[in-house]
Amino acid sequence: MRLNTQEAPVREAFHLPDQENLETAGETGLRLQQGEYAGSVVNLVRWGGELAVTGLREQNFNDYSSSLREMLRTDKEFSSLLDIDDRREHPVVDGRAQAPNGQSMAEIIAEGRRSSERLAADYEEWEPQAIRDGGDEVIAARADALEPGQALFAVSLNPDQALKDYSELYRRLGYRDIAYIQYYVKTKQNTLVAGSYSVSSSHIETWRQLFAERGVEVPAEADDNTFIRYGFELTASAEEAERVAHDMRQEYYKQRGIDHKRHSVSEYLKLHNETAGTFFDTYYPSLANAANSRRNNEVMQGFARTLLDTDIARLKPEIKRTLIKVANSENFDYQSARVMDSVIRYAVVEELRKGLPAYVRGSAPAGRVAVRPEARAVVTTAMVPGVNLMLMNSMLAGNVSTGVQAGRYYGGCPGQVELGEEEDGIPDIGGTSGPQAAYGGRSRGSRTRLGSNEDCEFTSEECPECHEKKVHTKVTRLPNGGKRVTGTCGCSKTYN
């Protein structure tokens, strides 16, 4: 969880508390929810105020593209066949790599470490995360200290023990059985290149052996939370560093006996960049405008209404309530922005995944996926929704319906997107696969989670305890990552 200091206009746009109030808020779950969300929406809010600024459009498109890669990587049907290869460039100012919002990456990470340490002082389950954040801080400092032409390599392992001891919390934070090779390269152009290579499975002794082969002795007391601190440096260009990371991943797979062919989801998205861009330019300028102005618009309303008209069975009650609000209200709050962003990304990934079977078979055409030609026209925010937009709304609503009915959900650095209900009617809160990527997944200026973190209420068909029908049910999130479910029938149950 990351509580980042955001620009005052962004805080004011959604009435978010400042850093001091975040730190002293009475209920930890609320504090985390608000802090995380402030980070996730900041770039959209900034762009919405200056839609003509090309750089802000590209920054948001890069965030969106990274999200699509990470979501596709977590598709249960294809995850064992896909890897992520991500690379970002950070300008270096006064010797420190900068985030897109101009803040020092090292300071952003230090804020995260301070936040998790405060939580760990009250809740023991946060101690592993505080240790991990300390490791991220060590690596950020070492990256800033690189000379031009130097590269730093580190591996962030999965927190296996924390996942055993505090499963729900660490799954919410985004951890799965994945390791990330991180590399950082200082170029002669005063830029720091930060890359991430995902690696399926996270076996510490195999990584210890691979490091030893490179002359790096990782002490026996190093565990999955501290292994990242024992990175090594080489003289290398960005391209050479990328090759080193690639070779390390291949050596790991060979050592672990993982010999089936794997495919780059990053390369797959490059094939379909135009398709992803069409959807982005259709919806995201309008979403950014609404997020910035806090006023709804026809593009957001039209899509919400089409989704509701599709009558998607098993859609989460809190998602449906927000869609009803977007379809009918003139106002547009932070929850509306969060949900519409989640739904759009979910629908786009459902479209993109249609090409994955051919891609992993090696027969994917070097072209678009399954987007119909008449729906490829870019719709600007100034355009009155017409035939093309109506068609695209219908296509994406159909994608959401198909994905929810199939029970599909996706993880990723911007957070797990799961729009359907669990069988017991309790919404899952999910997580991301980003906490182990370069800069702890904060290369966008924040690491965020868009899963359902807030309290919610809905009508349950039947209480599982007393079997009373049509029970109004409330889910309350607990500071330790659990949830308490209470019903008007009088029953109550806590899930840890």
- Output the six-digit token pair for 260: 């089936």
pLDDT for the residue numbered 27: 29
**141-155, 394-408, 439-453, 478-492, range with the lowest pLDDT:** 439-453
Nearby residues of 59 by Cβ (< 8 Å), 6 or more positions away: 43, 47, 100
Q: What angle do CA 52, 53, 55 make, to 5 degrees?
A: 145
Distance CA 159, CA 170 (A): 8
Highest mean pLDDT among 26-35, 164-173, 301-310, 311-320: 301-310
| % of the chain residues with pLDDT over 70 | 75
Highest mean pLDDT among 29-43, 143-157, 252-266: 143-157
pLDDT for the residue numbered 490: 80
Distance CA 132, CA 440 (A): 9
pLDDT, greater one: 465 or 182: 182
Contact 142, 231 (CB under 8 A): yes
Strands 263-264 and 82-83: parallel
Residue 376 has pLDDT above 50, yes or no: no
pLDDT for the residue numbered 419: 58
pLDDT for the residue numbered 176: 74
Q: With bands split at pLDDT 50, 70 and 90, how would you rate the model's confidence at 441?
A: low
| % of the chain residues with pLDDT over 90 | 42
pLDDT for the residue numbered 292: 92
Contact 81, 115 (CB under 8 A): no
Residue 492 has pLDDT above 80, yes or no: yes
pLDDT for the residue numbered 17: 34
pLDDT, greater one: 275 or 30: 275
Highest mean pLDDT among 151-155, 351-355, 432-436: 151-155
pLDDT, greater one: 436 or 366: 436
Q: With bands split at pLDDT 50, 70 and 90, how would you rate the model's confidence at 301?
A: very high
pLDDT, greater one: 277 or 413: 277
How would DSSP label each residue in 84-111? Answer: -EEEEEEEEETTEEB-TTS-BHHHHHHH
Nearby residues of 467 by Cβ (< 8 Å), 6 or more positions away: none
Contact 115, 3 (CB under 8 A): yes
pLDDT for the residue numbered 31: 28
pLDDT, greater one: 344 or 365: 344
Q: With bands split at pLDDT 50, 70 and 90, how would you rate the model's confidence at 460?
A: low
**Residue 348: closest CA among 301, 422, 297, 414:** 414
**159-173, 177-191, 415-429, 432-446, range with the lowest pLDDT:** 415-429
Distance CA 405, CA 424 (A): 15
Contact 106, 137 (CB under 8 A): yes
Average pLDDT, the chain: 77
pLDDT for the residue numbered 30: 24
Residue 259 has pLDDT above 90, yes or no: no
Q: With bands split at pLDDT 50, 70 and 90, how would you rate the model's confidence at 299?
A: very high
Distance CA 438, CA 26 (A): 32
- Output the six-digit token pair for 493: 């149950």
Residue 417 has pLDDT above 70, yes or no: no
pLDDT for the residue numbered 6: 32
pLDDT for the residue numbered 345: 92
Neighbour-count burial of 156, counting CB atoms closer than 10 A to its CB (0-12 exposed, 13-18 middle, 19+ buried) = buried
**42-46, 81-85, 422-426, range with the lowest pLDDT:** 422-426
pTM score of the predicted model: 0.69
**151-160, 188-197, 414-423, 469-478, range with the lowest pLDDT:** 414-423
Place of tokens 């690596």: 139
pLDDT for the residue numbered 194: 95
* pLDDT digits 0-9 by tens, 109-165: 998 899 899 989 988 999 999 999 999 999 999 999 999 999 999 999 999 999 999
Domain spans of the chain, in order of start: 455-496
Neighbour-count burial of 402, counting CB atoms closer than 10 A to its CB (0-12 exposed, 13-18 middle, 19+ buried) = middle
Which runs of E-coded beta strand occur in 169-324? 178-186, 191-200, 232-235, 263-264
**223-227, 300-304, 326-330, 352-356, range with the lowest pLDDT:** 352-356
Residue 327 has pLDDT above 50, yes or no: yes
